[in-house]
Amino acid sequence: MAASAKPPTASLSWNKLLPSSPFATALVSFPRRRNRSAKTVFVVAVSSGAKPTVLVAEKLGEAGISLLKEFANVDCSYNLTQEELCTKISLCDALIVRSGTKVTRDVFEASSGRLKVVGRAGVGIDNVDLAAATEHGCLVVNAPTANTIAAAEHGIALLAAMARNISQASESVKAGSVVKAFCPSAKVKFVSDLVYSFARKWQRSKYVGVSLVGKTLAVMGFGKVGSEVARRAKGLGMHVIAHDPYAPADRARAIGVELVSFDEALATADFISLHMPLTASTSKVLNDETFAKMKKGVRIVNVARGGVIDEEALVKALDAGIVAQAALDVFTVEPPPTDSKLVSDERVTVTPHLGASTMEAQEGVAIEIAEAVVGALRGELAATAVNAPMVPAEVLAELKPFVELAEKLGRLAVQLIAGGSGVKSVKVTYASARAPDDLDTRLLRAMITKGLIEPISSVFVNLVNADFTAKQRGLRISEERILLDGSPESPLEFIQVQIANVESKFASAISESGEVKVEGKVKDGVPHLTKVGSFEVDVSLEGSLILCRQVDQPGMIGKVGSVLGEENVNVSFMSVGRIAPRKQAVMAIGVDEPPSKDALKRIGEIPAVEEFVYLKL
Ligand SMILES: NC(=O)C1=CN([C@@H]2O[C@H](COP(=O)(O)OP(=O)(O)OC[C@H]3O[C@@H](n4cnc5c(N)ncnc54)[C@H](O)[C@@H]3O)[C@@H](O)[C@H]2O)C=CC1
Ligand SMILES: O=C(O)C(=O)COP(=O)(O)O
């Protein structure tokens, strides 16, 4: 029996890396052909009516809503209580929020696995429980660039407004004051009998400010917003220093900013502007102890997150005269409580978290997040993923067939394990002529993990939760590189997966060193199995696979082939690997349809067949 011509190759859907969705289900169920791009398949899926649902829980620019509507059912429901959000979320594939919605573990749990993408229409993701998102295989994306300038401009606006008492003076002029209260009639019975006379307050000496020019500004957090603030402050004639443990010195140098230690920044600054994210290590970074290190009369601007300042400590520092003034756009609790001492302190200028709120920024953020969410729902890898590796498009395109190979090798390896012998230790070897830092294996590792875990559990594994899931199941995946000579045109020569300390239901899959071993390559863009245990084979990894060990003798291919032929099972690919002529050989047979139990029994009964196994890819 001759093996049939190469069948079409399944085109890789990136939904396999990312969370699946109703859309992905449609995609997977559609027969795939080599020449059909993922995009073509997507069009079919949408026309099948399986539109995903996106819940937009906070005000988003119209341009973003329109973009979302081209692809999904969009439910704009603002001001939901936490309970309402939890109820709605089970019907949604994606959720878009700004800073006002807490996406807690309860939300992910309430979604019962349907929520696949959370889009944060802005930068700070401190309102999203990232650990819970990752555990639930939910991708979190943000819109990190569109509001940078808006936030920086707001920082500068607050800096100048604070230094010149703009909001206090404005309030005073507007409010005016009672200059006279008199009663036109002789008797005053009620207060309402009084007639008041107002005058404008014109307190020019009370609101004398301080100048910015020549003063030292310490920018804490020299990222996107911080560096734009620094650039603008330089333009105002300020001496700018910055503290950021992770910022590259050349970026600071290019703007003419000196990077200094945290303590030096505190000790020398006349103004401090905060621009770091709220994390466990930045929480309450300005506190009693650090306020004590500041120059007396320092002025503080916070456009980052309220939580980076211990607000009680700031009240004390204002009362002690350490801090002369503060300008705050953000608060630990938003809106701050009505009895907030900070808000009622005249020395404190406040705005209601307006940093990102310009027409331009909101338009940009809406488009940026809508594109990221739609892309993620389509299964594309998101460039702004917060809890998954970001992989540039060109790297992705190159790794695509290897990603497919990785998952299939994982699937094969785990199916070769005898039931009951738990998989604990997996070694993956990548052979490549590329330098290690030129080969990003996170994707490959995630897909091997997916392949290893999914066939033996109900757990759904994707790029987001692969490492977490492996860890949770006590599965240790170690990676090793073999550096090959030659031209590094192809990213990888082969991938090998070995599982240690297990028994195999197909003894030939055990290598000389005692592990279950499978190895594969990509040939003409198609993943191939090239080694099982110590046997060299060559079969494309499509459909399902029968591995047979038999005595190497004439007629074996025909015998197995005719059993499959009689059972109407189409053979797609076949190869035989042997140790030596007339000794043992392993036959790898690719089949399009799953053979019946009877067919498999008949193969097992062929006298020269010593063992065989049927594996689903
Ligand atoms: N008020 C508002 O409406 C807005 C607020 N933001 C907030 O501004 C902050 C900065 O945003 P981006 O500049 O876009 O983020 P970014 O990620 O570009 O920059 C943050 C910088 O902080 C640095 N950093 C981290 N830990 C630090 C530490 N312990 N000390 C000093 N620096 C540290 C990082 O290395 C990074 O360079 C975020 O908290 C964000 O949420 C951003 C936009 C609008
Ligand atoms: O992008 C950020 O980090 C912000 O703080 C902006 O928040 P907002 O989207 O305006 O609620």
Task: Show the ligand 2 pocket: residues with CB < 6 angstroms.
Answer: 98-100, 121-124, 147, 353, 355-357
- CA 45, CA 114: separation in Å to the nearest integer? 18
Report the C-alpha dihedral over residues 499, 502, 508, 513, rounded to 10 degrees: 60
Dist. CA 105 → ligand 2 center (Å): 21
Closest ligand 2 atom number to CA of residue 99: 11
- CA 500, CA 82: separation in Å to the nearest integer? 47
Task: Show the ligand 1 pocket: residues with CB < 6 angstroms.
Answer: 122-124, 144, 147-148, 151, 220-226, 243-247, 275-278, 281-282, 303-305, 329-330, 353, 355-356
The reported pTM is: 0.77
Q: Which ligand is nearest to the CA of 143?
A: 2
Q: Which ligand is nearest to the CA of 353?
A: 1
Q: State which H helix or E strand residue 168 sits in.
A: helix 166-175
The answer to whether the peptide bond before residue 335 is cis (omega within 30 degrees of 0) is yes
Residue bearing tokens 């630990």: 332
> How many Cα atoms sit within 13 Å of 147 on the Cβ side?
30
Which residues does residue 508 pair with via DSSP β-bridges, in sequence order?
none
- CA 586, CA 535: separation in Å to the nearest integer? 7
Q: At what angle do helices 166-175 and 148-163 cross, to 10 degrees?
A: 60
Strand order in the sheet with 526-532: 476-483, 425-432, 494-500, 516-523, 526-532, 535-540
- Ligand 2 mutation target, pool 353, 359, 360, 365, most atoms within 8 A of CB: 353
Burial of 47 (0-12, 13-18, 19+ CB in 10 A): exposed
Name the catalytic one among 239, 243, 305, 378.
305
Does 411 participate in catalysis according to the annotation? no
- Ligand 1 mutation target, pool 225, 279, 283, most atoms within 8 A of CB: 225
Name the 3-class secondary structure at 101.
coil
Residue bearing tokens 């290893």: 452
- CA 66, CA 486: separation in Å to the nearest integer? 50
Compute φ and ψ for 330, nearest 5 degrees: -135, 150
Name the catalytic one among 109, 258, 312, 334.
334
Which residues does residue 354 pair with via DSSP β-bridges, in sequence order?
none
Closest ligand 1 atom number to CA of residue 276: 22
Dist. CA 361 → ligand 2 center (Å): 10
Residue 583, pLDDT score: 73
Does 334 participate in catalysis according to the annotation? yes
Name the catalytic one among 136, 154, 353, 411.
353
CA–CA distances in Å: residue 323 to residues 160, 179, 219, 297, 301: 16, 34, 16, 5, 11
Specify the pairing of strand 425-432 against strand 348-350: unpaired
Query: Nearest residue CA, atom 16 of ligand 1?
Result: 223
Under DSSP, the state recorded for 529 is E
- Please answer whether residues 556 and 550 qualify as being in contact, where contact means their C-beta atoms are separated by less than 8 angstroms: yes
- Listed residue (577, 438, 559, 415) closest to 497, CA to CA: 415
Q: In 303-392, which residue ranges form alpha helices assigned H by DSSP?
A: 311-319, 341-344, 359-378
Rg (CA), the chain: 33
DSSP assignment of 447-503: HHHHHHHGGGSS----TTTHHHHHHHTT-EEEEEEEE--S-TTSS-SEEEEEEES--
- Listed residue (229, 244, 547, 578) closest to 415, CA to CA: 547
Count other C-beta atoms under 10 Å from residue 205's C-beta.
5
- CA 38, CA 17: separation in Å to the nearest integer? 13
The 10s digit of each residue's pLDDT in 556-567 is 788 888 888 888
Query: Nearest residue CA, atom 9 of ligand 2?
Result: 98
Closest ligand 2 atom number to CA of residue 124: 3
Q: Which ligand is nearest to the CA of 275?
A: 1
The residues near 469 (Cβ < 8 Å, ≥ 6 apart) are 449, 453, 459, 461
- Listed residue (118, 66, 199) closest to 376, CA to CA: 118
Tokens of 130: 């990232």
Dist. CA 388 → ligand 1 center (Å): 19
Closest ligand 1 atom number to CA of residue 227: 13
- Ligand 1 mutation target, pool 250, 263, 273, 275, most atoms within 8 A of CB: 275
Residue 123 one-letter amino acid: V
Residue 580, pLDDT score: 65
Dist. CA 373 → ligand 1 center (Å): 22
Specify the pairing of strand 298-302 against strand 271-274: parallel
CA–CA distances in Å: residue 578 to residues 119, 316, 388, 412, 587: 53, 81, 42, 20, 9
Residue 37, pLDDT score: 29
Specify the pairing of strand 323-328 against strand 298-302: parallel
Residue 11, pLDDT score: 34
Q: State which H helix or E strand residue 298 sits in.
A: strand 298-302
Does 204 participate in catalysis according to the annotation? no
- Ligand 1 mutation target, pool 97, 243, 244, most atoms within 8 A of CB: 244
Query: Nearest residue CA, atom 10 of ligand 2?
Result: 356
Count other C-beta atoms under 10 Å from residue 49's C-beta.
8
Please identify every stretch of the chain with a pLDDT value under 50, giving residue numbers as ranges: 1-16, 19-48
